[in-house]
């Protein structure tokens, strides 16, 4: 078996627990007594992502949510107190919401009472029929095969993720049913509570995954979500997280900024050229070479670089000769623009002060072009 989360092949076997009930929802009748010998739960941990998991097959009803007949008043009050701040903070009133694995739909009802436009997704037809009898909007299905008509701004998944054999596929399926910047509220049992109490009898065939806050975060982050908040609830028995769907980084502002840089450099170089001075750029690193060709600095006379393996070659696209600092006089360079990252710039300034103290020197710091006064340069 490979890791259920990251597909890594190396799993450490932690425990082999013999004599466990076949499943949480297995209640044998008299005819099954002879066959009911119990099962062995094999607990493994991924060497790569650290996730604790069972190597057992999922129980045959893992897509269904089996809960008590209906949500108690205190449970309902607790759910409301957890959802209310999320709804307020993120302005979710009237927005589409989905509960993934909603059982008979009690929490869907709560979300609708709180002003969301919520529906549930549940695999068990029996649960779906029960919900429908109470006019709770529930669709029969499983998230990995589900595509909603209108995407959601919020989802909820309560103690259901730990049942899933393919947690990443499961979460990515939720993700594709969300709008950009969609949010979610997820709860799972807390493995640190189980192990902190040496409660090994809590391992159960139904729960294939045993999350800590850390591995839950990893799971979510490699499945397209960002964790906004994580806290222990239910007397530390459970972890609850608020997540948001990852959205692509906006690059438009950076493109505008690049255009500004190109304009500044081009104007500077044209000015020096029209003053009749011979200009070289110092720096043949990949950044400087890219920027000088993007800015079309055809007017420069040469590129200076102290790396011998670059000297004597030509720059790409502009085809300017790369020369050694020793040849500055030979090429009659009168103005130098430094385009060097970090510490190199101060070394070059000291070199120029020593050997070319009348050089007109400028430095480009990614924002502006400043004239350097040789007298102020440290040696
Ligand atoms: Zn893993």
Tell me the average pLDDT of the chain. 96
Spatial distance between the Cα atoms of 231 and 242, rounded to a whole number of angstroms = 9
- 285-317: per-residue pLDDT in tens? 999 999 999 999 999 999 999 999 999 999 999
What is the predicted pLDDT for the residue at 341?
A: 79
Instruction: Record the tokens describing residue 133, joined without a space.
Output: 């009898």
For ligand 1, the distance from its centroid to the CA atom of residue 51, given in whole angstroms, is 6
Q: Where are the domains of the chain?
A: 58-245, 252-376
What is the predicted pLDDT for the residue at 67?
A: 78
For ligand 1, the distance from its centroid to the CA atom of residue 332, given in whole angstroms, is 62
3-state secondary structure of 198: coil
Q: Is the pLDDT of residue 258 over 90?
A: yes
For ligand 1, the distance from its centroid to the CA atom of residue 98, given in whole angstroms, is 28
3-state secondary structure of 371: strand
- 48-67: per-residue pLDDT in tens? 999 999 999 999 999 999 87
Mean pLDDT across the stretch 19-29? 95
CATH of segment(s) 252-376: 3.40.50.720
Confidence of residue 343 (pLDDT cuts 50, 70, 90): confident
For ligand 1, the distance from its centroid to the CA atom of residue 368, given in whole angstroms, is 47
Q: Are 119 and 138 in contact (CB under 8 A)?
A: yes
For ligand 1, the distance from its centroid to the CA atom of residue 61, given in whole angstroms, is 24
Mean pLDDT across the stretch 264-284? 98
| Homologous superfamily of 58-245 | Vaccinia Virus protein VP39 (3.40.50.150)
For the chain, strand residue ranges (E) read: 11-20, 39-46, 52-54, 96-100, 117-122, 138-140, 152-158, 178-189, 209-210, 225-233, 238-245, 279-282, 302-304, 322-323, 335-338, 360-364, 369-372
Q: What percent of the chain has pLDDT over 70?
A: 99
What is the predicted pLDDT for the residue at 300?
A: 98
What is the predicted pLDDT for the residue at 375?
A: 82
3-state secondary structure of 238: strand
Q: Is the pLDDT of residue 69 over 80?
A: no
Helix axes 73-89, 106-113, angle to 10 degrees: 50
Spatial distance between the Cα atoms of 243 and 213, rounded to a whole number of angstroms = 13
For ligand 1, the distance from its centroid to the CA atom of residue 142, given in whole angstroms, is 24
Mean pLDDT across the stretch 260-279? 98
- 207-231: per-residue pLDDT in tens? 999 999 999 999 999 999 999 999 9
What is the predicted pLDDT for the residue at 342?
A: 76
Spatial distance between the Cα atoms of 259 and 243, rounded to a whole number of angstroms = 36
Q: Is the pLDDT of residue 68 over 80?
A: no
Mean pLDDT across the stretch 66-95? 92
For ligand 1, the distance from its centroid to the CA atom of residue 11, given in whole angstroms, is 8
For ligand 1, the distance from its centroid to the CA atom of residue 370, given in whole angstroms, is 51
For ligand 1, the distance from its centroid to the CA atom of residue 243, given in whole angstroms, is 21
What is the predicted pLDDT for the residue at 133?
A: 96
What is the predicted pLDDT for the residue at 98?
A: 98
3-state secondary structure of 145: helix
Fold matches, 58-245 and 252-376: yes
Spatial distance between the Cα atoms of 106 and 110, rounded to a whole number of angstroms = 6
Confidence of residue 248 (pLDDT cuts 50, 70, 90): confident
For ligand 1, the distance from its centroid to the CA atom of residue 52, given in whole angstroms, is 9
- 346-370: per-residue pLDDT in tens? 899 999 999 999 999 999 999 999 9
For ligand 1, the distance from its centroid to the CA atom of residue 211, given in whole angstroms, is 12
Phi first, then psi, for residue 280 (nearest 5°) are -125, 150
For ligand 1, the distance from its centroid to the CA atom of residue 166, given in whole angstroms, is 12
For ligand 1, the distance from its centroid to the CA atom of residue 45, given in whole angstroms, is 8
Q: Is the pLDDT of residue 99 over 90?
A: yes
Q: How far from each other are the two terminal CA atoms of the chain, in whole angstroms?
A: 63
What is the predicted pLDDT for the residue at 97?
A: 98
Q: Is the pLDDT of residue 30 over 80?
A: yes
Which residues, including other chains, have CB under 8 Å from residue 17's CB and lie 6 or more apart? 40, 41, 42, 43, 200, 203
For ligand 1, the distance from its centroid to the CA atom of residue 17, given in whole angstroms, is 21
- 314-340: per-residue pLDDT in tens? 999 999 999 999 999 999 999 999 999
3-state secondary structure of 178: strand
Give the least confident one: 164-173, 186-195, 325-334, 339-348: 339-348
What is the predicted pLDDT for the residue at 200?
A: 96
For ligand 1, the distance from its centroid to the CA atom of residue 226, given in whole angstroms, is 19
């Amino acid at each position: 078996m490979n890791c259920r989360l990251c597909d890594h092949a190396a799993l450490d076997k932690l425990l082999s627990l013999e004599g466990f009930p076949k499943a949480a929802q297995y209640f044998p009748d008299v005819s099954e007594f002879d066959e009911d010998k119990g099962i062995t739960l094999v607990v493994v941990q991924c060497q790569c992502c650290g996730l604790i998991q069972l190597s057992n097959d999922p129980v045959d009803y893992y897509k269904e949510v089996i809960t008590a007949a209906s949500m108690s008043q205190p449970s309902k009050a607790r759910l409301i107190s957890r959802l209310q701040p999320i709804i307020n903070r993120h302005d979710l009133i009237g927005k589409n919401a989905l509960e993934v694995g909603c059982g008979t739909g009690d929490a869907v009802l709560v979300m609708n009472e709180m002003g969301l436009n919520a529906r549930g997704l549940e695999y068990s037809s029996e649960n779906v029929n029960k919900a429908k009898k109470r006019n709770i909007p529930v669709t029969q299905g499983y998230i990995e095969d589900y595509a909603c008509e209108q995407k959601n701004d919020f989802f909820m998944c309560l103690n259901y993720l730990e049942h899933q054999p393919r947690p990443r596929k499961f979460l990515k399926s939720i993700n594709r049913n969300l709008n950009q910047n969609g949010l979610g509220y997820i709860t799972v049992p807390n493995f640190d509570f189980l192990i902190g109490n040496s409660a090994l009898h809590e391992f159960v065939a139904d729960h294939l995954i045993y999350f800590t806050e850390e591995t839950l975060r990893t799971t979510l982050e490699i499945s397209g979500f960002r964790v906004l908040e994580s806290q222990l609830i239910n007397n530390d028995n459970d972890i609850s997280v608020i997540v948001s769907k990852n959205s692509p980084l906006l690059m438009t502002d950076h493109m505008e900024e690049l255009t500004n840089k190109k304009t500044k450099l081009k104007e500077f170089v044209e000015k020096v050229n029209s003053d009749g001075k011979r200009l070289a750029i110092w720096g043949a690193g990949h950044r400087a070479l890219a920027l000088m060709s993007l800015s079309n600095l055809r007017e420069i006379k040469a590129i200076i670089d102290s790396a011998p393996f670059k000297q004597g070659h030509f720059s790409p696209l502009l085809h300017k000769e790369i020369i050694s600092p020793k040849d500055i006089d030979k090429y009659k360079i009168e103005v130098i623009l430094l385009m060097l990252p970090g510490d190199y710039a101060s070394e070059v300034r000291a070199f120029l002060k020593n050997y070319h103290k009348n050089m007109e020197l400028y430095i480009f710091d990614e924002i502006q072009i400043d004239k350097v006064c040789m007298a102020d340069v440290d040696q």
